Structure 1
């Protein structure tokens, strides 16, 4: 009984030899489908039988429309059947009766009008359209049908008249666009007619009238292409080029793609190299115009646009692009938004000075830029320095100093001080340099570079005492941005001057502040290079720092080994090599209770101390088990408790590793 429960089990689960697809099932269903019933074909032996059949069908249709008069489908089927019987009068009668029932049915009007048009009864169709748009003036479909029919018949004045009637009802934008497209199409047709039957002057007159009539708002690229091709056919290449340029300057990129292609083809056929380049520039100009129109704050697009105009060499265009670009001021007073924008002013000023040769205009650009920057929140030292360099190129030294002085007074920056000092050094005005350095370190005493440069200036002037005083004052500052550079500069100065005792004293002072391994190595190398060849002192420095953190100890031992290989003996080298650690793999527990392997350094000195400690602990343990005693000055031997023995071992352990 249990085996009969549930779905049957398939014994053979292999794929069937004959696969059945959905396509096969559908094909079989269609093939086996019984054919539908077809009405028998009626054949009429004579005219009397035909009239009898027509009468019977008319009676059926009349019954349909009598039972449901408002159902327009019955009326339209009735009229369509009459049209198939070539009974046009009866069909018109049916349509008119239907219109009497519902004159607002747009579908009924369209079927009635199309029936007349198919029968080529144009006047009947025109009368129907006139009636329809009079009764239903707000139905655009009827107006479109009316205009389409008149244009297909070539009745352009009639089409224009229909559009004028339609426009009096103030339709939507699509209707106006259709009217505009009609005018565009027919201007070209008129021009072609004049080209075929008239003269070239008449053709030019037609095209000129078309351009004036359409204006800049409704310009069509097809009209200008036809006009330019007509001029090119007459070998009036300059006229054609002027037409292309006129259209390209006034039409948007999206509406003049074909015009650009036609202009490029024209220049390749009839132009020279400059003409082809001009076409390419005009294309790129349109692209950049679209980019800056889409996003006026896209400064990269403005850069590319300005460079494009600079290559074209048109001064007015370049100036116009730069003026439009610098008018796009960043929306917020945050420096990150101004970083790209400020380069527009820089490139503009450089172009005015170098390319346009207009010095006064370049100076005005710098001045306007400096007025625009919110110096209370941030500034750009680059602009101040470039303005000063510009004045120097114009041999206006006082103006340059005034510019930099104003910058330091309004918004002091390290870069401004540095640039001003470099300027005065080039002019050999060392007194001014001293004054600037004093103001610099007074404004920012933590700037080590300023202290170093100040000391280098005094050293260059052979005032060593002043140099030392500057260095001493610098290292005494509580806050320094890069103290290691300052100490290194001071030490290098004393070493280069041959003041080895002073240098050694500086190293000692520095080691009181930091115990970094690099300082020890540098100290040892200094002792190596001392002319008195006192290498024992260098070895002392190496050994003094040998006991430190493991990584630093390895670095120091490597430096010590290198030193011994250069200046030491074989015994010294062997002694250092014995101190070199060995690498070993160890495991440590992580926060998630897992373990990881790492490489650790094991030093021989550590092994010896560990060995000594192990021996001592073993002896202490034996002494404790034997009930040993502790001897001390002024005390007799006695038994020591286990607590005292533990304290003794702890103290000895601390003595070894403390």
Structure 2
């Protein structure tokens, strides 16, 4: 049976080989690669080789597991020839072929690689629209280093595939172009730019690396001219523009067909904050080109047009560096000629010219910086004054600067004191003896619409001082009279900004103050009085005006008129200014020794309606007047009124003063009603102090019971924990003047007061707050407090009266005197639990 089976299998294989040989007579097939195990798959394929892919796939899978590479290729070749449009078959076949040759060296095994290339080419005959076949083929070609063939294959792929699939090809083509370099890379990138202009930055980098600077610059220009371009590297428009500028400047000699100066100047107009860098770049460009005069012109234009000191410094530093390098080169040439003994007068003259030019440039630096600041703000008065100072003794330029300044500065926008510029202009002519021209300038200056009335007033004052410096006193008075000229009844508001300064200047206190001082110095008293009266009519008088006018009249023995001026001032001003005027007025009236009734009337006017804050001084002056020139009881009535009129913080002191005066004039007993009213009127803390003084007075008068009653009244204000000094004084008083009953009564009152404060909610809250604030300090002083408490206990024991012992543990018990017989304790005795 086995022999029969073998013979039948051999017969079947031979039959298959004959059929295959007949079917593929035109092709050479290695029929020996078909084994007996393949018979089943071959028969399945022979049944219908063109209609279905499944028999071929089963056959291929079987060979992939069991067959050699030759057998696999044999089957794949037959399958691909049978079904040449099957992408799946070709993809599997090409992957096997590529995988097989990948470990081999492309140079050494070139023939094997060419076979695979042929397979790819055959697949692309009908599958040229499959991008994956192209990408696999191109990736395979990239390993073989066939630049021309690879490039042409990339081109074929781009032509064969639709535009939507080109990105897959470009992803391989661009790295290939970068590795190929040279003209090939540039041509490939140019084509790539047509479909992907957003990658321009990378193309520009490639052009720069290859030295194609002009083309790179042209590409930058295209990018910057495209408003829709967005940098993939996150560069701003200025950064890209700056890179173009650097490219043009750094490679000036290689770039010939681009107008670099026009490009840089357009950037100067567009990027105002980078003008320093751009002007420097333009100068550097001309230096690179070897055109030194054009470079110097660029630097000069830069330093005379920039608007910031930072840009100026940048350009000026480059400018000086350029000049120093040129001078250094010329000096080296001159040294070489000197060594060789050659003489070149033209070269030496050129060196001298350049040295002079460099020195002049350095001398111009302060003026150039000043120009920059004035270009920033032509209304900067301070900078104009600095420019005047820079010219030194150059009269022509100083006059020109002043002329330019007053023409350029807008009075309403001036930064600084514009009037000082006009004043300096006039003083310049005055200094050089041309008073007439100085007056003309002043006359123009007072017509300038200054920013404020104060500046205009300063200008008039400067004009008057100009005349005073030249001893023209009458002319100075005329000028001030003209400055202060105003209608008889002026309704102009000094602070009305809708009016010009010239319309409001007649109400300037500074102007009138200078005017009155001037008239007082050079004119008569009558003229001075007229000026003062005019000040009062315009209602621009100040307290100082009142005082000055009154002092002037007083110095000239016009005392009554002086007093009238004070009264007019009091009509104009309210408190607190009125207090100062009353103080001066009353002092001078008292010193003048005018009638007592008139003085009383003045003082009554002064204290009528006076705020409590200012009442104390006036009442004391009033009382002192009555003491010196009037009646003592009148003075006491005034002091009594003062205790009601003064401020709360002054009331205690006023009562104390009143009591002192009453005691000195009418004796101690007269102070009792004053003490009583003071205790009633003052707050608790001050009432306590007044009670202590009252009690001490009664003690000195021997009124012990009255003093004790006062202590009892004051005890209601004194918490033993807050005011221990009060209780200590009362205790001392009882020890000296009391007995056991009065001492116990004092202790009872003390305990009652303490209990009262212990139940007072407001007091408890305030005490808690105070303890919280003082806790930190108390923690630090605990040890010192313990020592102080011990010392206080010893002192209380030392002060204890005979028959009593110091309070301990809250109890006070009578103690027997020394050498007294011992008495048995009475069990029925009452134990007085009294708190010490």
| Superposed displacement of residue 403, structure 1 | 1.8
1:553 equivalenced with 2:651 (yes/no)? yes
Equivalent residue number for residue 12 of structure 2? none
Instruction: Decide whether the 8 Å contact of 2:460 with 2:479 is kept in 1.
Output: no
Instruction: Decide whether the 8 Å contact of 2:283 with 2:298 is kept in 1.
Output: yes
Distance change >3 Å, CA 343–CA 520, structure 1 → 2: same
| Superposed displacement of residue 282, structure 1 | 5.4
| Superposed displacement of residue 362, structure 1 | 5.3
Distance change >3 Å, CA 45–CA 491, structure 1 → 2: closer
Equivalent residue number for residue 585 of structure 2? 490
| Superposed displacement of residue 125, structure 1 | 3.7
Choose the corresponding residue for 1:603, options 678, 686, 690: 690
TM-score by length of 1: 0.57
Distance change >3 Å, CA 513–CA 274, structure 1 → 2: farther
Q: Distance in 1 between matches of 2:655 and 2:621?
A: 14
Q: Distance in 2 between matches of 1:261 and 1:573?
A: 93
1:507 equivalenced with 2:603 (yes/no)? yes
Equivalent residue number for residue 459 of structure 1? 554
Choose the corresponding residue for 2:249, options 171, 181, 184: 184
Q: State the Cα deviation string for residues 573-627 of structure 1 (Å, max 9, x = none).
A: 999999899x99xx99xxxxxxxx966554248879x979x99xx9xxxxxxxxx
Where does 1:566-581 land on structure 2 (aligned, <5 Å)?
none
Where does 1:115-154 land on structure 2 (aligned, <5 Å)?
115-122=176-183, 124-129=184-189, 131=191, 135-136=194-195, 139=197, 141-142=199-200, 151-154=208-211
Equivalent residue number for residue 448 of structure 2? 368
Q: State the Cα deviation string for residues 545-600 of structure 1 (Å, max 9, x = none).
A: 574366333333566799999xx79x98999999899x99xx99xxxxxxxx9665
Equivalent residue number for residue 247 of structure 1? 302
Report how many residues are paired. 508
Instruction: Decide whether the 8 Å contact of 1:117 with 1:125 is kept in 2.
Output: yes
Q: State the Cα deviation string for residues 51-93 of structure 1 (Å, max 9, x = none).
A: 446655885799799889585x875564344122112233113
Q: Distance in 1 between matches of 2:429 and 2:225?
A: 56
Larger % of helix: which?
Answer: 2
1:84 equivalenced with 2:143 (yes/no)? yes
Q: State the Cα deviation string for residues 450-502 of structure 1 (Å, max 9, x = none).
A: 44443333333333343344445555679687322332232233234343634
Q: State the Cα deviation string for residues 357-382 of structure 1 (Å, max 9, x = none).
A: 67344543442134xx5xxxxx5245
Where does 1:322-337 land on structure 2 (aligned, <5 Å)?
326=410, 329=413
Equivalent residue number for residue 384 of structure 1? 457
1:522 equivalenced with 2:522 (yes/no)? no
Instruction: Decide whether the 8 Å contact of 1:475 with 1:486 is kept in 2.
Output: yes
Distance change >3 Å, CA 74–CA 355, structure 1 → 2: farther
| Superposed displacement of residue 393, structure 1 | 1.0
Q: Distance in 2 between matches of 1:229 and 1:160?
A: 17
| Superposed displacement of residue 439, structure 1 | 3.1
Equivalent residue number for residue 743 of structure 2? none
The alignment partner of 2:528 has SS state of helix
Q: Distance in 2 between matches of 1:53 and 1:599?
A: 118
Instruction: Decide whether the 8 Å contact of 1:495 with 1:503 is kept in 2.
Output: yes
Distance change >3 Å, CA 65–CA 328, structure 1 → 2: farther
Q: Distance in 1 between matches of 2:322 and 2:655?
A: 80
| Superposed displacement of residue 96, structure 1 | 0.8
Q: State the Cα deviation string for residues 502-537 of structure 1 (Å, max 9, x = none).
A: 445523443455482211222345567x6x8x8958
Q: Distance in 2 between matches of 1:575 and 1:65?
A: 140
Instruction: Decide whether the 8 Å contact of 1:545 with 1:556 is kept in 2.
Output: no
The alignment partner of 2:449 has SS state of helix
The alignment partner of 1:401 has SS state of helix
Choose the corresponding residue for 2:529, options 424, 434, 442: 434
Distance change >3 Å, CA 229–CA 87, structure 1 → 2: closer
Where does 1:168-317 land on structure 2 (aligned, <5 Å)?
180-187=245-252, 215=265, 218=268, 219-224=278-283, 246-251=301-306, 253=308, 258-259=314-315, 261-262=317-318, 302=380, 305-306=383-384, 308-313=386-391, 315=398
Instruction: Decide whether the 8 Å contact of 1:441 with 1:451 is kept in 2.
Output: no
Give 5+ residue unaligned stretches, structure 2. 1-98, 230-236, 269-277, 328-354, 392-396, 431-436, 493-502, 699-704, 714-836
Instruction: Decide whether the 8 Å contact of 2:306 with 2:312 is kept in 1.
Output: yes
The alignment partner of 1:499 has SS state of coil
Instruction: Decide whether the 8 Å contact of 2:279 with 2:298 is kept in 1.
Output: no
TM-score by length of 2: 0.47
Q: State the Cα deviation string for residues 105-141 of structure 1 (Å, max 9, x = none).
A: 578568646534532441x3444455556x55x9264
Q: Distance in 1 between matches of 2:121 and 2:314?
A: 56
Q: CA RMSD in A?
A: 6.0
Q: State the Cα deviation string for residues 384-429 of structure 1 (Å, max 9, x = none).
A: 2432432441454333321221597743254443333223223324
Instruction: Decide whether the 8 Å contact of 1:95 with 1:112 is kept in 2.
Output: yes
Give 5+ residue unaligned stretches, structure 1. 1-38, 192-208, 330-340, 374-378, 589-596, 619-658
Q: Distance in 2 between matches of 1:65 and 1:492?
A: 127
Instruction: Decide whether the 8 Å contact of 1:507 with 1:523 is kept in 2.
Output: yes
Distance change >3 Å, CA 327–CA 404, structure 1 → 2: closer
Instruction: Decide whether the 8 Å contact of 1:113 with 1:128 is kept in 2.
Output: yes
Q: State the Cα deviation string for residues 251-303 of structure 1 (Å, max 9, x = none).
A: 4556666445546878999999998796577568757866x5xxx9xx9xx46
The alignment partner of 1:603 has SS state of helix
Larger Rg: 2
Where does 1:48-67 land on structure 2 (aligned, <5 Å)?
51-52=111-112, 55-56=115-116
Q: Distance in 1 between matches of 2:403 and 2:511?
A: 30
Instruction: Decide whether the 8 Å contact of 1:391 with 1:399 is kept in 2.
Output: yes
The alignment partner of 2:520 has SS state of helix
Equivalent residue number for residue 104 of structure 2? 44
